[in-house]
Amino acid sequence: MSESTENIARYLDHTVLAPAATDADMARGCEIARQFGTAAAFVKPHFVIEASKLLAGSTVKVGTVVGFPQGLALPSIQADEAEMAIDMGAREIDMVANTGKVLSEDWDYVSTCIAGVAEVVKSRGLIIKVIFETCYLADSHKIMLCRICEQAGVHFAKTSTGFGPGGATEADVALMARHLKSVKVKAAGGIRTLEQVRRYLDLGASRIGTSSTQQIMAEVRAN
């Protein structure tokens, strides 16, 4: 990548989404995000209000998830969930495409859900990302999801939740980057090193989701 390592933090979404993450974990995550100046701090929906307070005055955006981690909520519920999260202070929304519906190739259902959430988020002038959970999908599914994301006008397509049996891969990031034009790529899931971050950026990612921000930035400083 052409960017100097000093700028790595601006590509990172620091995540605190583990099922057992406590109030203290969330507060520490916000502290880490503020310390390094990451693009965003992603927290569970019930943490959004407190995270917004902790990050007030910083450049770090508060992000949260919708339909997480399997995209099972009804489309109308996901749209309502996004609106409530925004009202509480979220400035970026990562929603999950319904994996079962993608595998069933029920593209009308998938499109309706993504478009509904995207409409809510974009109407507020905020950022919407769609999570594919690529580890379950064939390339044909991933390519179709790229088309749907383009049609819906979302800002990012994201590889993974980090809670499936597999995370980001070089092949998936490269494939998504090839098939997306106006939509950017976010790589997430199993990204723990500076080498991985730089490699995914080289392959076309514009944002990296990770809970290993401290480790990555320690490597940046060492370099």
What is the spatial distance between Cα 63 and Cα 189, in angstroms, rounded to a whole number? Answer: 16
Distance of CA 60 to the CA centre of its chain: 14
Question: Has 23 been annotated as catalytic?
Answer: no
Question: Has 53 been annotated as catalytic?
Answer: no
Question: Has 202 been annotated as catalytic?
Answer: no
Catalytic pick among 61, 101, 142, 186? 186
Paired tokens of 92: 């970026």
| 69 upstream amide cis, omega within 30 of 0 | yes
| Beta-carbon-side half-sphere exposure of residue 69 (alpha carbons within 13 Å) | 16
Catalytic pick among 61, 101, 129, 158? 158
Catalytic pick among 13, 61, 94, 142? 94
CA distances from 205 to 1, 31, 40, 87, 130 (A): 11, 25, 16, 29, 14
Catalogue the active-site residues: 94, 158, 186
